[in-house]
Amino acid sequence: MRCKSAPMGRSRWRWSIRRESTTSLTCGTGALAIFLRKAFEVNITTSDYDDGEIEKNISYNCRANALDVLPHIRHTWGDPFPVCTPNWDIVIASDILLYVKQYDNLVKTVSFLLNEYKQKDHKSGCITITDKSGTQISAKPPVFLMSWRRRIGKGHQSLFFDGCEKTGLQVQHLGDLVYLISNKQEADFVETKSDGGSSEGMIF
């Protein structure tokens, strides 16, 4: 598998994460993580179901794209996370809401990653997400940024978002099937209009 373009395809959202520490949750083949690393040199860790074959496949795909093998964490949603103190500023995921029966476990994992986050290297600043019209959303890390292209019932997707809110997380719909989820105590969303200047980022 060779990554030549953004795996998420047509999303109109851009976000500046080059200097952020990122993990890709349920990364599958690793396509998104490989693209981000190769195109933008993002410091990214892959994670998926506790299965050695998945990890081997991601390693193979990294080498096929002339990359060093990315760090990988085996984790099954709902199980204790192997890293006791997560320090990823951004958790990203694509098309993970297909597994309706696992929503409770997914919420447990997302809640842990956001609530137990400890900032690395005492960094400061916000994550900026910009759409093509120039509207920007700034958010304090950590955040869970997710998108999906596969259709599921609105009733099903609301189960996941309701579950997030019941555990104290805040859900913000950014449009075009993109959602930003954060800890309510840390949430600090600011919407502004870009002046048209250039910025680091990527389009998905």
Residue-level pLDDT at 119:
86
Per-residue pLDDT of 1-34, as tens digits, reads 665 555 544 444 455 555 568 999 988 999 999 9
Strand partners, 90: 22, 143
Residue-level pLDDT at 136:
80
How far, in Å, CA of 81 to CA of 20, rounded? 21
H helices of the chain, in order, are 31-40, 52-64, 103-115, 154-166
Six token digits for residue 174:
């950014």
Residue-level pLDDT at 151:
66
Question: What are the residue ranges spanned by the domains of the chain?
Answer: 13-193
- Fold category of 13-193 in CATH: Rossmann fold (3.40.50)
Predicted confidence band at 204 (pLDDT cuts at 50, 70, 90)?
Answer: very low
Mean pLDDT, rounded, of the chain: 82
Per-residue pLDDT of 137-189, as tens digits, reads 888 899 999 987 766 777 788 899 999 999 999 999 887 788 999 998 665 55
| Residue 72 pLDDT > 90 | yes
Contacts of 26 (CB under 8 A, 6+ apart): 47, 48, 49, 77, 93, 96
pTM of this prediction exceeds 0.85: no
Question: Could you tell me what percent of the chain has a pLDDT over 70?
Answer: 76
Predicted confidence band at 199 (pLDDT cuts at 50, 70, 90)?
Answer: very low
- What's the distance, CA 144 to chain centroid? 5
From 142, 136, 148, select the one nearest 177 (Cα to Cα): 148
